[in-house]
Structure 1
Amino acid sequence: MFRWFIALLLLILLGLQYRLWFGDANIFHILDLQEKIAVQVDENERLQMRNRQLEAEVTDLKKGLSAIEERARSDQGMVREGETFYQLVEPSVEAIEN
């Protein structure tokens, strides 16, 4: 009788181990999901930071003229009246070799 009880417990243990390692929600699947969650959390943080930067830029464009002026200078190459614009150009490799 005791042997049957031990055999039954061993079968139950093997059945549970099978589900743990090879069942629907096995250990490998859980580890894979945890890795995907970590990657998604990193991506979400990156996107949240980008959204905060864009929100700050929109607020600055709505409220301040300095952001508009900075955009005009960098994107359009505009200068204020009375300012002098200097453009520094690095010499090409051919000019250096000659």
Structure 2
Amino acid sequence: MGKRIVPAALIALLVILHGQLWFGRGSVPNVSLLVRKLDEQQLSNAQAARANERVAAEIHDLREGLEIVEEKARSELGMVKANEIYVQIAK
């Protein structure tokens, strides 16, 4: 009878560990889901970083140069310089 207890205990331990591998907190499907979420978040972070860089570059241009201010005034507000004629071509 003593010879059967050790293998039975080892098999029970193996079943428990195998169950944790497939159904527990650190299971294979759960880890796969977390990896997929991590990839999506990293993509989102990269897009946000690119947007932040564009905004930072625009802020730098606005602080340092007047060309961007003039370009924005012309394109968004329709402003023109003195002695300049504004011509709009409709397509």
- Aligned equivalents of 1:74, 1:49: Cα separation in 2: 24
Give SS of 2:37's match: helix
Give me the whole-angstrom Cα distance separating, in 2, the residues matched to 1:83 and 1:20.
75
Gaps of 5+ in 1: 91-98
Aligned to 2:46: 45
The percentage of aligned residue pairs carrying the same residue is: 34
User: RMSD in angstroms over aligned alpha carbons?
Assistant: 1.5
Aligned match of 1:94: none
What is the distance in 1 between the residues matched to 2:83 and 2:40? Answer: 52
**Aligned with 1:85: secondary structure?**
coil
The aligned counterpart of 1:95 is none
CA distance in 1, matches of 2:77, 2:83: 17
The count of aligned residue pairs is 89
CA distance in 1, matches of 2:17, 2:56: 52
Deviations 1:8-27 (A, max 9, x none): 32222111000111112211
**In 1, Cα distance between equivalents of 2:36 and 2:66:** 45
Residue in 2 that maps onto 1:56: 57
Question: What amino acid sits opposite 2:45 in the alignment?
Answer: N
1:3-82 correspondence to structure 2 within 5 Å: 3-82=4-83
- TM-score of the pair, normalised by structure 2: 0.86
Q: Which amino acid in structure 2 is aligned with residue 54 of structure 1?
A: V
TM-score, with length taken from structure 1: 0.81
Aligned equivalents of 1:35 and 1:9: distance in 2? Answer: 35
How far did 1:43 drift? 0.6
